[in-house]
Amino acid sequence: CLPGTKPEECGYVSNTPQRAFQGDLQFSLPIFNNQILTFGGAYRWEYADTKEKYLRNWKDETSTVKLKYQSKGKTRTWSIFAQDEIMLTEKLTAYLGARYDNWRTYDGYVNQVGTKGYPKEYPSNTETSFSPKFSVNFKPFEGTTLRGSVGKAFRPPTIYDLYRTWTSARGITYAGNPNLKPEKVTSYELGLDQKLWKGAKVQLTYFYNDIDDLIYRKTVNATYQEYINVGSAESQGFEASFEQRFDFGLRLFANLTYTDSEVKKNKAKPETEGKRLTYLPLWMGNLGAEFKKGKFSFYVVGRYMDKWFSDDENKDKKSGVYGSYDEYFVVDVRASYQVNKWMSLSISGDNIFDRDYYYYYKAPGASWFAELTLKF
């Protein structure tokens, strides 16, 4: 900065360190001759602390001088779960399950230095959820499986959803929200797994999700977005996959997913009702092949992603510009050779045909990597 320039005029740097601890414990126990009981628990603790500091020199991110903004907090979740797998007949298997989650956010703090009303602390919040699930598999014929399930799920906001606020190079601020509530989902699924000829199988699945308190990013104005809970939303669609395996080590595969989504109720912003959910494409799919022979393997896949919206009113329809999420199809490859038990070599390439598209920022072009792996 020029002599006499205030630090506030020299730019700032944002940093969000995060710490997390997670543990899981699971047991399986046969019961009688036709049941398997699985049960266990899980625990996760997270902490994040976002700090924005002014810079003495905007070219040197270590030349910080004073605090501009800080937001921090902690979350912890503990859960217990159980599932009973019951083989009713040789052709019919039922699954009865349930999960209990206890989620808490606490020690929330924010300081917008120099702004009236700051710093301030956020009250702690605790949410609990009981999530039952029932599913069934039926095999009417050899090579045919029919699937069906219904259940509830619980997804708490991430530590970043709650406590991370940052500003992009375009000047758009993305704000966390310490008052977010967890999402609650009721899901339904029907499916078919069918073996065809030798080495070939197909899977078809229909799904429907009814979502309450959906966590999404609300566009307040052209330069400010914040996370909030939507009253309700839904998504439904289908998944289809095909696989063909050959005796000489070749596997061909393809999969396709279609997802139609809609905001059903949003009192915080009624104009978004009837709009598609953000960051959720209509179509996505993969098409590829894998070959393994002895110590050598080769893998190639084409990945397709439809354009999606990041604006909650679905106004961001432009493509090929900074901040857009473009439709794209790219091809990746990987070749590997296992030299011996402790050494392997590989060469891989991403986007090998150098397709141009934007994934908010301009996506990397063709990239090649060489890897040497040693195991001791």
Q: What tens digit of pLDDT does each residue of 314-331 get?
A: 887 888 777 788 899 999
Amino acid identity, position 153 = A
The two three-digit tokens of residue 264, written as one number: 């059903």
Does residue 221 surpass a pLDDT of 80? no
Per the document, the length of the chain is 376
Contact (CB, 8 A) for 373 and 344: yes
Q: How confident is the model at residue 260 (pLDDT cuts 50, 70, 90)?
A: very high
Residue with tokens 């030798």: 198
Other CB atoms within a 10 A radius of the CB of residue 356 amount to 11
Residue with the bigger pLDDT between 2 and 255: it is: 255
C-alpha to C-alpha distance for 313 and 225, rounded to whole angstroms: 12
Per-residue confidence (pLDDT) for residue 58, from 0 to 100: 66
C-alpha to C-alpha distance for 251 and 329, rounded to whole angstroms: 21
Overall CATH class of domain 72-374: mainly beta
Helix or strand or coil: residue 9?
helix
Per-residue confidence (pLDDT) for residue 118, from 0 to 100: 80
Mean pLDDT of the chain: 87
C-alpha to C-alpha distance for 305 and 332, rounded to whole angstroms: 14
Half-sphere exposure of residue 362, counting CA atoms within 13 Å on the CB side? 7
Lowest-pLDDT range, 58-62, 190-194, 244-248, 310-314?
58-62
Residue with the bigger pLDDT between 243 and 263: it is: 243
Give 330-351 pLDDT, tens digit per residue. Answer: 999 999 999 888 889 999 999 9
C-alpha to C-alpha distance for 165 and 171, rounded to whole angstroms: 13
Contact (CB, 8 A) for 305 and 281: yes
Prediction pTM value: 0.77
- Within 8 A by CB and 6+ apart from 376, the residues are 342
Give 5-23 pLDDT, tens digit per residue. Answer: 565 556 777 777 778 899 9
Give 244-294 as a DSSP string. Answer: EE-TTSEEEEEEEEEEEEEEEE-TT-GGGTTSPPTT--SEEEEEEEEEEET
Q: How confident is the model at residue 311 (pLDDT cuts 50, 70, 90)?
A: confident
Per-residue confidence (pLDDT) for residue 6, from 0 to 100: 60
Does residue 81 surpass a pLDDT of 60? yes
Does residue 198 surpass a pLDDT of 60? yes
Q: Cis peptide before 132, with omega less than 30 degrees from 0?
A: no
- Within 8 A by CB and 6+ apart from 183, the residues are 154, 155, 156, 211, 212, 213, 214, 215, 229
According to the 3-state scheme, what is the secondary structure of 181-197? CCEEEEEEEEEEEEECC
C-alpha to C-alpha distance for 184 and 187, rounded to whole angstroms: 10
Other CB atoms within a 10 A radius of the CB of residue 80 amount to 14
C-alpha to C-alpha distance for 367 and 85, rounded to whole angstroms: 46
Residue with the bigger pLDDT between 207 and 265: it is: 207
- Within 8 A by CB and 6+ apart from 365, the residues are 351, 354, 355, 356
Residue with tokens 């991110």: 61
DSSP code of residue 124: P
